[in-house]
Chains A and B, each alone.
Chain A
Amino acid sequence: MTLEELNVFVTTQANVSMEAYYWWCTALMVIIHVGFLMYEVGATRMQNAVSSGVKNLLAFAFMIPTFWLFGWWIYLAFPGGFIPIDLEGYGVPWNVSMGPMLSDQATGIFWAAFTLFACTTASIFSGSVIERIRISAFTFLAVILGSVVWILAASWGWHPDGWLVTRFGFHDAAAAGCVHTVAGLFAFGVLLNLGPRIGKYNEDGSANEIEGHSLVLSFIGLLTLIVGFFGFLGGCLIWGASDIGGWTNIYGAPATLSSFVFNTLMGLAGGMIGAFWWSKGNPFWMMSGGLAGIFICAGGLDIWYPGFAFVLGTIAGCAIIPLNNWLHNTFKIDDCVGAVAIHGGAGILGMLAVGLFATGFPAAGDIPASNFMGQIIGIITMALTGFVPGYVISFIMKSAGWLRVPDAVQKAGIDKAELGLQAYNQ
């Protein structure tokens, strides 16, 4: 074999391996959706179980074509802000770049991974609005969140050329901001306009617990989610192929799967233990705490000392419960799965933790090192990017009468009234 043939062989194998890696990350991320579906359906009362599942499936189904139509292009075109850069046609659906090409083994597989990131983002929002949002309205809002809002935030802060990164040194290796904070705050904005389920609050303002119909389904769903997040987190690393020589984080700085797995598992365990302690053994919060433990570590998942990831996870597991209670008591929202606190709250804490405890880590090229002010600017940007469109668009939809299921249909049960079927023979 000549040197030239060896070079062709190595390059070919690297490209094929890259495709295979992201292919399986994408497949694993579908399991996130399975988990969210089981979790939501279990947290729903029996009379609305099917509609909750249908709603979740629709988010998945609509995210794929819409992310192909405009989501991927938004990510590539808007790193500078609101004015798109000239991509010479790349990324728009009528350009050949958005189809199979012999010279490009990366676009399809990265588009797929980002599409599943988008599905995850929409699913985070999905659980918080169950049992009273119109399915069509939810689908529209899910498309806005999954194929426009979060990916715009990703273009700013989860892209090597994003303005938050190049100007302020924003560091968020595993998307605590653009995925979790944006989705959590978007959900918060919608919840303010959507209102609670009938029977959630009494006239004196006190709240009633509305229990789902299957705690077992919710448990399995939550643990399944965690399995799927290994695909998500694996997809957050960039395969260096043969020309760089190793993994990098999304900003181009060296990273390893080892750092990701160290800190993911330690954060997960910390979150479960913290929530177990704070909730005095509530299993729902234990599993949610595990997720929050991963999300609080996400910003610095590539650089944390694993012991500190465990401590951070414990803090997240403790913090989300009072935060969720405060949100409900103050704003009278009905966040059925605690998504605002778990994703929004832990996501913000994750970005803040990098600013407090991981400053000075060098990035690639001319990108400034991680720093406190960069993280604060990132937090404000991500929170506003999630909340403002969620609130404004849902307010317009509410004003147009296209947001909430009428009370009579809620009382009759959405499954029977709208879908003409029931989840179980009672």
Chain B
Amino acid sequence: MNTWPGPVNSWEGVDAYFTWANSPGMLVLITLVSVCICIGVIIAAAKHESETAEKNK
């Protein structure tokens, strides 16, 4: 899949020059994945702490 935002092998007309720059749906999707990673890791850490607390009772 070509994710280059401009014509193939050319910088002509290019401003945003990163992967999926011309695909708003992908940017939203990756943003959501980033949010899930942050929240998920905090929840996982909290779960581990609670299990440790149970073991040390």
Contact = CB atoms under 8 A, between A and B. Distances in A.
Interface of A: 62, 65-66, 68-69, 93-96, 99-103, 134-137, 139-140, 143, 402, 405-406, 408-409, 412, 417-418
Interface string B6-25: 00000100111110010010
A220 to B, nearest CB: 29
Nearest to B28: A94
Nearest to B14: A102
Interface of B: 11, 14-18, 21, 24, 27-28, 31, 34-35, 37-38, 42-43, 45-46, 48-49, 52-53, 55-57
Contacts of B31: 69, 93-94
Which of B11, B16, B21, B35 gathers the greatest number of chain A CB atoms within 10 Å?
B16
A221 B17 CA distance: 40
A268 B18 CA distance: 43
Report the 8 A-B pairs with minimum CB-CB distance, sorted nearest first: A136-B45, A96-B16, A136-B46, A94-B27, A408-B56, A99-B18, A406-B53, A94-B28
B52 A100 contact: no
A408 B16 contact: no
A402 B48 CA distance: 12
Contact of B21 (A68, A93, A99, A103): A99
A140 B43 CA distance: 10
Contacts of A99: 16, 18, 21
20 contacts: A65-B34, A69-B34, A69-B35, A69-B38, A94-B27, A94-B28, A94-B31, A96-B16, A99-B16, A99-B21, A100-B16, A100-B18, A101-B15, A102-B14, A135-B45, A135-B49, A136-B49, A406-B56, A409-B56, A417-B56
B36 to A, nearest CB: 11
Contacts of B56: 406, 408-409, 412, 417
B37 to A, nearest CB: 8
Nearest to A99: B18
A328 to B, nearest CB: 27
Given A69-B35, A406-B56, A409-B56, A137 B15 contact: no
B49 A101 contact: no
Contacts of A137: 46
Contacts of B16: 96, 99-102
Contacts of A93: 27, 31, 34
B42 A417 contact: no
Nearest to A139: B42
Contacts of A101: 15-17
A136 B28 contact: no
A419 to B, nearest CB: 9
